[in-house]
Structure 1
């Protein structure tokens, strides 16, 4: 069984990796300084970004395993738990890392933006696969942050460090956009499977027993994190996943209204609405008419 470790501070994670602490709230790590180790069960109270330069073992998050290959970037946010295992008894870490405590960004523009970087809650299997050029950009940005940490602290330090972290994350967002495009053949399969799942859901008894389907429900069915799934759908269709679900729901509702004598109340319950007035309100917002007006119009 893996040892359980909790990292709520930068120093604790630095000590674990035999790395000096230059700043109490942020660190750029060189994992080659760490001692060979066994697998561990790790709980994080900090933001952590790992760039692996060699294959070093398998990561597990929830029910998913990810074979952690060279040139991948993985993001972990506060509150996440990660298992690091290896097919051999001991492995030698290698690569680079950027860690920072939530307190570092308090009162900075990055604090208002951090939730927009959805990749901190992606599954490990949704890691960012970097090209050699992208990898060099990431390493250059890590070096900029590291050089600033080595300087004496002055009134500009926090602003420059957090600005560079924000720039780092902006590049990661750009690289993820590229990955969504270059993996289009994979994404189209997910989109068609999403359509199948929606059709299956609304043609089953699930709307009666479970109500309206959520984005998280379909993400789980597709073995994706809700954030990654939502970002993928947005990139592929231009719509949010929630908007896409509602479009499908309205499409089915139109067919039921026009093709049957069922009451609006019956149709609302069939679609998973707990209250028929909520269905009527959404229908009018999306179509421009109430369900009854739409029936009379057609």
Structure 2
């Protein structure tokens, strides 16, 4: 599989204009003059691609769509498309991402899971932002900070549109929430040697941690880690009340805490009582 390490070689391969900068590249698609079919390739940079009226021949039953697609380094992508789509693209080097990570949050990970499908109104909003981006891109480094500001606006729009997509098809995403919750339950059905963490569940569900986190926050109003902590506290309370033979040190080990003192501090921070105080209070109530 071919990997393109820079904008210039990739643009030449696909039939896009020569980039004006090595760290950021903005442009419009001209589908009839571009490569419409390719075996899987990869790029060593990030791409945000907005395509309007895009039809993928890999799926003969698909209809033309308006969508945002993401490409991350080393993520393979192939295509076979009709030459009827229009659209825009933004390409960002690893350096640009690392130096401005606060602008991009997690959305560049989404390409591993799903496209963002756009309404006509959303296409118009994104098109307006791209028009301004092109203006400052053509001015090159003279207005680089302004250009980055518009990139930030674009990413903020993507965030809002993804929230709309999450709400439009709640069954698809609520299944992820249910699978996560079941995975938490299953985690403690066997002896554990450490606390559950976000990456463990992301890997279990075949998702990136950022993508899982955004879905969990959208549907539960809590981060993935907050959901994990909430479940650990629930399990701790059950063990403290239902299995009085276990002392608090044993409860800590049952939950996967390496150090009992950390369990006590964690429990008190969440419950405002130490494990011993909670157990005594629960016993006195019963």
Q: TM-score, normalised by structure 1?
A: 0.81
CA contact (8 A) 2:37 2:78 kept: no
Match of 1:73 among 46, 49, 68: 68
For the pair 1:15 / 2:28, whether they are aligned, the reply is: no
The SS at the match of 1:81 is: coil
Measure, in 1, the Cα distance between the counterparts of 2:281 and 2:209.
Answer: 38
1:131-163 deviations in whole A, cap 9, x for unaligned? Answer: 12112222232222223334x5573x2132212
Residue 240 of structure 1: CA displacement?
Answer: 0.8
Pick the aligned partner of 1:202 from 181, 188, 194: 188
CA distance in 1, matches of 2:246, 2:68: 53
Deviation string 1:50-77 (CA, Å, 9 cap, x unpaired) is 1233223569xxxxxxx99722212234
Cα shift at 1:257: 0.5
Give 1:184's match in structure 2, choosing from 161, 167, 170: 170
Q: Flag the 1:58–1:265 CA change in 2: closer, same or farther, 3 A.
A: farther
Matched with 2:91 is: 99
Q: 1:95 to 1:56 in 2, by over 3 A?
A: farther
TM-score of the pair, normalised by structure 2: 0.84
Partner of 1:63: none
Q: Residue 72 of structure 1 aligns to a residue in which SS?
A: strand
Q: Contact 2:137–2:144 at 8 Å: present in 1 too?
A: no
Long gaps (5+) in structure 2:
none
Q: Matches of residues 97-246 of structure 1 in structure 2 within 5 Å?
A: 97-103=89-95, 111=100, 113-116=102-105, 118-150=106-138, 152-153=139-140, 155=142, 157-205=143-191, 207-208=192-193, 211-246=194-229
Instruction: Indicate yes or no: 2:278 matched with 1:284.
Output: no
Give the superposition deviation at 1:104.
Answer: 5.2
Across the two proteins, how many residue pairs are aligned to each other?
274
Task: Judge conservation of contact 2:55–2:65 (CA < 8 Å) in 1.
Answer: yes
How far the C-alpha of 1:242 sits from its partner, in A, is: 0.4
* Cα drift, residue 186 of structure 1: 2.4
**How do 1:23-38 residues align onto structure 2 when only pairs under 5 Å count?**
23-24=20-21, 25-32=24-31, 33-38=33-38
Render the CA deviation track for 1:97-133: whole Å, top value 9, x for unaligned. 21133555787xxx252242x1112243232111121
SS for the counterpart of 1:122 is helix
Answer with 255-264 or 124-133: which moved more.
Answer: 124-133
Q: Whole-Å Cα distance in 2 between the matches of residues 104 and 224 of structure 1?
A: 24
Contact 2:48 2:71 in 1 (8 A): yes
